Amino acid sequence: MEQKPTLGAAEAAERARQIHSKIPEGGLFAGLTWRTATAPFPLGAELATTFDKLGRVLHQFYKAVNLLYRQSLAGKQPSWVAKWLDAGKDQQLLEWQRAQAFKNEIPRVIRPDIILTEDGFKITELDSVPGGIGLTAWLNQTYSEHAEVVGGADGMLTGFEGIFGEAARVSIIVSEESATYRPEMEWVAQQLTPGRFRVLDSSPRDIAPGEAVYRFFELFDLPNVACAGKLFEAATAGQVTVTPPPKPIFEEKLLFALFWNRNLRDFWRQQLGESFFAQLQKVIPYTWVVDPAPLPPHGAIPVLNLTDWQQLKNLSQRERELILKISGYSPQAWGSRGVHLGSDLPLPEWSKAVDEALASFDKNPFVLQQFHKPRTLQTEWFDLDANKIVPMQAKVRLCPYYFLHGAGDQARPKLGGVLATLNPADKKIIHGMTDAVLAPCSI
């Protein structure tokens, strides 16, 4: 999948300048910039079709996660499932998570992080409080003047607006921790139905009965979100609606470890169906929870064939094609924070990371995940300062945004757009950064 130039140099340069000139005056990310693509990133018809259908699979996965947690609490599934997912959370948050008002609620925005490899694609994690909604909406709107983008010019905007149903007023509450993304959400609010949306900070406030709230803050950050307690109490009482719901299970990366746990295989096959289960097996990297509990002498960690997590520290560099990362409920659990690529670290640093993971299990579990090497492809961007097109070898992360429209069993995921983050090929971990090219996707 090479991103072949389709424009002459002069035309591409002019288009890039036009695109850059349309960035809103306040920007989209506070204090952050990116490299300007001369054209959308082409998915190809097969991958575009796959992404269009993937939302249904992930929606069903989230519903299954919700059921698994409830059944674990009720004794119908193993108790260690809820124990892992509840680790480190305070009692008030657990009470909100288990409240009847949120019993069947799942996040209404689903965004997988997808890496293209030589053998297809892999979903490295799911983000239930994703940044990039406004950015991708702006990219789709801007690039659609010259190309057909996935989701169309307004797919992200109509997708986001549709998750709030008939609510007359919607408040988007952005915490200080998430302040980088406030400009993009302010831009979104300005594009939607006039007067219906507003962006608020997290200072103490009352939310009017009947109002809908979009929670743009992670649950680990609740001590710094002054309005959270009153907001969640109002939602528990049915006075307002909140999405994503205050359910930290959906902010844990160990959901993929639960998917691969052999003890739960029958549950997943039953809840997902054979087709969806098989699809996820192909695209979710094998993932383990780093649990320091000793194994019996004849026991071994599946696939790794280790009999003790301490042995993980002594694997060769080639054997360490593994990602170690904190599962969730921590300021280190988003972006590229708290992520360790074993093959990229000297043995002492890798050993230190393993020790940290083992020591952290009771409060902040870590997961270990197979690392699938991203494929390298050719792209280009326009250097506004040098006034020239710059070719670049890149690795790409693709982020489709799915928006749930409708309620209960009638809810359906709608693909609003796909954000491509193209990092220089020498970067080991792909994430948004100043030297990344950000572009919408086309078919």
Does pTM surpass 0.85? yes
Quick: pLDDT tens for 174-191.
999 999 999 999 999 999
Average pLDDT over residues 426-437: 76
- Domains of the chain: residue spans and CATH: 9-253+375-442 (no CATH), 287-370 (3.30.1490)
pLDDT over 60 at 6, yes or no? no
Extract the tokens encoding 145: 């003047």
Provide the percentage of residues in the chain whose pLDDT is more than 70: 96
pLDDT over 60 at 3, yes or no? no
User: Which residue matches tokens 């575009």?
Assistant: 48
pLDDT of residue 29: 87
pLDDT of residue 162: 97
Average pLDDT over residues 12-20: 86
* 8 A C-beta contact, residue 160 and residue 188: yes
Quick: pLDDT tens for 112-128.
999 999 989 999 999 99
* 8 A C-beta contact, residue 322 and residue 369: yes
Quick: pLDDT tens for 54-83.
999 999 999 999 999 999 999 999 999 999
Quick: pLDDT tens for 230-263.
999 999 999 999 999 999 999 999 999 999 999 9
Quick: pLDDT tens for 261-284.
999 999 999 999 999 999 999 999
Quick: pLDDT tens for 358-389.
999 999 999 999 999 999 999 999 998 888 89
Average pLDDT over residues 36-51: 94
pLDDT of residue 13: 82
